[in-house]
Structure 1
Amino acid sequence: MTISIEYEAEKKLDLPYETIIRDVVEASLDYEKCPYEAEVNVILTDNEAIREINREQRQIDSATDVLSFPMVDYETPSDFDHVEEAVEDYFNPETGELMLGDIVISVEKVEEQAEKYGHSQTRELAFLVAHSMLHLCGYDHMEEEERLEMEERQRAILDTRGYTR
C-alpha cells in the first residue's frame, strides 16, 4: 500500500499525523473490504489553499475541512468488482496498486473543529481521513439515508482503532 503524505501548511500539528493518517487509511480499506493494494495521496494544507482548491473544483469560495478526489467510478459504494475491467484507468502501471484518489485536509480546520466539538485534534484528523476515505470508496452524503450510512461507517472505522470522542 502506498500512502503519500505531503505537509504544505506552515502551521504544524503537534501530533503524529503520519501515523494517524496511515492507520485510518488502512482501517478504512479493511472495513470496506478493498481486495487490492491501494494508493492514496494526502495533502495537509491551510485554509487559504483549501479555499482556492474548493473554489476551482467545486465553485465554492470558502475554506472547508476536507476535500476528496476519488479516481474510481462506482455504481455501488465499495463495489470493486468492475475495476479490473479498466486496469489502465484504475491501477498504477508501476506498482499495480489501485489508485483510489486524493485527500486534502486543512490543518487549521483540524484545530478549529477539535476545539468546537470538544475532542482531540487526533480524533478530528482521524475523523476527516475516515470521512474522506469513504468518499474515495464511492460513498456520499447528499441524501439523509446516505449521510446516516456514512456516519455509521465512520464511527465503526474509528472505533476499530480507538479514535473515539
Structure 2
Amino acid sequence: MAKLLYSVSMSLDGFIAGPKGDMSWLTGHLGPNPEIDALIGDIGALLVGNRTFGGDDPHRGDAEKEGKAFGGGWDGPQFVLTHNPPAEPVPGVTFVSDLDSAVAQAKAAAGERYVNVLGADVARQCLDAGVLDEILTIIVPVLLGDGVRLFDRPGGDNVRLERIHLGEVPHATNLWLRVVR
C-alpha cells in the first residue's frame, strides 16, 4: 500500500515559502540532490493543495521546468484538494473536494509507491487526520524571516517523529522522518 510522504524545502527558520507563497527564494538554492533524484522514481502520485497547484514556481521563467512537478523530473497522476476546481479540465489532474477521497484516490493511483504531498495546508490536514506517514525536509541554509511555515498548527497536539535518514549535499541538508503512531 502506498505511503504518504510530505517532501518540502524549508529555510532554517522554518518557512517553506515566503510571504504570499513566494517561492522565488528557493531558485538560488536549487542544485543536484541525489536523494531527491532517487525519490522521484519512487513517487506514484501527487496529492497537492490548490494554492500550491496554482501558486508560485521556483522554476518561473524556465520554459522547460516551469509548472512541472520536480522541475519536470516527474510525470504522473496528480490529485488536487480544492473546493473550487477550474471550469476546464487539466490533463493528468483530478480535482477532489475532500481529504479522505483525495487520499484514497492518490493511494490507489500510486500502488506500492509514494503519494508525495505538496502544500503546507494539505500536509497539515494529512497529519491531523493521521494519514501522513513520512516527512522529508530539505533544509536550506537561509533565513527568510517571514512566510508560510512548514507546519502551522496553533493548539495542535504533540506529534512524535523518528529519524529515518540524515543526508547532506553542498546546498542543503536532507532530514527524512517517520510519523510515529
Smaller-chain TM-score bracket: under 0.3
User: Of the two structures, which has the highest relative contact order with CA contacts closer than 8 Å and spacing of 6 or more?
Assistant: 2
TM-score (norm 1): 0.27
Higher strand share: 2
Higher helix share: 1
